[in-house]
A and B are shown apart, each in its own frame.
Chain A
Amino acid sequence: MSKVTYVEHDGTATEIDLQDGWTLMQGATMNGIDGIEGECGGSCSCATCHCYVEEDKLDLLPPMGEIEDEMLECVVSERRPNSRLSCQIKMSPALDGIVVELPEAQS
């Protein structure tokens, strides 16, 4: 178990314990965080699990795949340098304490 904090667009922050190996998208949808939709169930094909990752954790993340990069072109809210799809980020002890911000809209 490691900790992740989701900060919704209105500023509401929710910290949850997430099993290592599960994705940040799963953590959000299972815990009622509405700012993440995850329509495609994590198959990297809907871009409704967009999040902004805190800068100093960016380097610890698995590198972005080509498909994720393509999908990020389709996000509804602004794409920023720290944009990632939360279904492509698996929790691990190295990411313990990670904070992600959620965009204004996913769809």
Chain B
Amino acid sequence: MFQFNPYSPAVDADPFPFYKRLRDDYPAFWSTEANMWVLSRHADILTALNDWETYSSASGNLMDEFPGRAGATLGTTDPPRHDRLRALIQKAVTKRALDHIVEPTRAVTNAHLDAIAGEESFDFVTDVSSKITVDLMVYLFNLPKDGQDIMRDKAVLMVQSDPTTRSKGPEHMAAYKWMTEYAANLIAERKKAPGEDLMSQFITAEIDGEKLDDREVQMTVTTLIMAGIESLSGFLTMFALNLADHPEARRQLVANPELIPDAMEESLRFNTSAQRFKRCLKKDVELHGETLKAGDFVCLAYGAGNRDERRFEDPDIYNIARKPRGHLGFGGGVHACLGTAIARLATKIIFEEFLKRVPEYSRVQEQLPWMPSTTFRSPTRLDLRIG
């Protein structure tokens, strides 16, 4: 009997053979372990993303949801509330509002690359992607400078799950609690002395003449920090990994850095770091001979849709010239990633600098330690040898 258990370490390490079975033989599959349906074909996922009235986010969008988050954040509300919340933040993160992050991003990247200069090998996760991402978020949200390492550790722990109990373990819940308290303190500070930053704008914002309620602000700030840190550093790590495994592609980027954005999109498709999110059905749906009932949860396996041969030719080949339009690496529809423009711009700058200074590198580990997570996929350590 075929099983798809998103809690299993085998899926963390290599979900792709499972995805192929799902797409080919079980395009609407009930996973008993996850207690939800799984959609894996590109077309089905896109249809779901374009139909928030049927596929609702208001009961949560993380595979393992946190208490109190459903209904209270951008990622976990439906329109029209969602759109009003999003409009409050969107203008600060559109492409045309982001010029100010270019130089700070370049500067923190070089500072952390200075620290590994002269080394034979380094861990891309600890030494590069985490450090740069945390610095960038501290800058973006104007966060306090102390306690940064703890914040990163908590953000990473928050998104994990325990493979044996198939739920969040005590350490994951504790990390979540830590982050909500961190957010609460931050909000209290900003209320006293609002600044120009994104957080302050959001905290003081009103919808239809009403202030956002405290829980909404706290949960949204918690999510922004988690999403910003973990999604971006996880993706940067996957990108570095792809370029270690495909030296030809890397050399092309070194010779012609203008190709970095195309390669980034291909990595989002090929090794999707945000693998799976969920929705809850508002009405019955007939799909591939199954009846998905109102109230059932549905997993949208973006990582599977991105390898769908019905949509992408030779999907298992990493091809930086592909320009994979319509990939699901940032999700899609009204919940498409808010940080898309930030992530694209930051990745471009970080890899311009990184490849300038470390043009030749290779993997040290044969087996990578994969993060135990039902939602995200990236290694917890990536040792790279320089030269």
Contact = CB atoms under 8 A, between A and B. Distances in A.
Contact of B83 (A22, A29, A43): A43
Contacts of B50: 21-23, 26
A41 B325 CA distance: 14
Given A30-B326, A32-B325, A67-B83, A40 B90 contact: yes
B334 A43 contact: yes
A39 B333 contact: no
A37 B90 CA distance: 14
Contact of A42 (B91, B325, B334): B334
Nearest to A38: B336
Nearest to A42: B334
Nearest to A66: B208
Q: Which of A45, A46, A107 has the most CB of B within 10 A?
A: A45
A74 interface: yes
Interface string A45-72: 1101000000000000000000100010
A37 B340 CA distance: 12
B340 to A, nearest CB: 7
Interface string B47-72: 00011000000000000000000000
Nearest to A105: B96
Nearest to B80: A67
Interface residues of A, number: 22
Contacts of A23: 50
B84 A39 contact: no
B335 interface: yes
A107 B325 contact: no
Given A22-B50, A32-B325, A67-B87, A43 B82 contact: yes
B201 to A, nearest CB: 14
Contacts of B341: 39
A39 B87 contact: no
A4 interface: no
Contact of B86 (A26, A30, A43, A107): A43
A87 B261 CA distance: 25
A76 interface: yes
B45 to A, nearest CB: 13
A67 to B, nearest CB: 7
A99 interface: no
B79 interface: yes
A44 interface: yes
A73 to B, nearest CB: 12
Interface centre among A37, A41, A48, A107 (most CB of B within 10 A): A41
Contacts of A42: 333-334, 336
A74 B340 contact: no
Given A71-B87, A107-B94, A43 B79 contact: yes
A45 B90 contact: yes
Contact of B332 (A32, A41, A48, A107): A41
Contacts of B51: 21
A41 B87 contact: no
Contacts of B83: 43-45, 67
Interface of B: 50-51, 79, 82-84, 86-87, 90-91, 94-96, 325-326, 331-336, 338, 340-341
Given A21-B51, A39-B340, A74-B91, 15 more contacts: A21-B50, A32-B325, A39-B341, A40-B86, A40-B90, A41-B333, A42-B334, A42-B336, A43-B83, A43-B90, A43-B335, A45-B83, A45-B91, A46-B90, A107-B94
Closest 10 A/B residue pairs (Cβ)? A41-B336, A45-B87, A45-B90, A43-B334, A43-B83, A45-B86, A107-B96, A43-B86, A107-B95, A46-B90
11 contacts: A21-B50, A29-B326, A40-B94, A40-B334, A40-B338, A41-B336, A43-B79, A46-B94, A48-B94, A67-B87, A71-B87
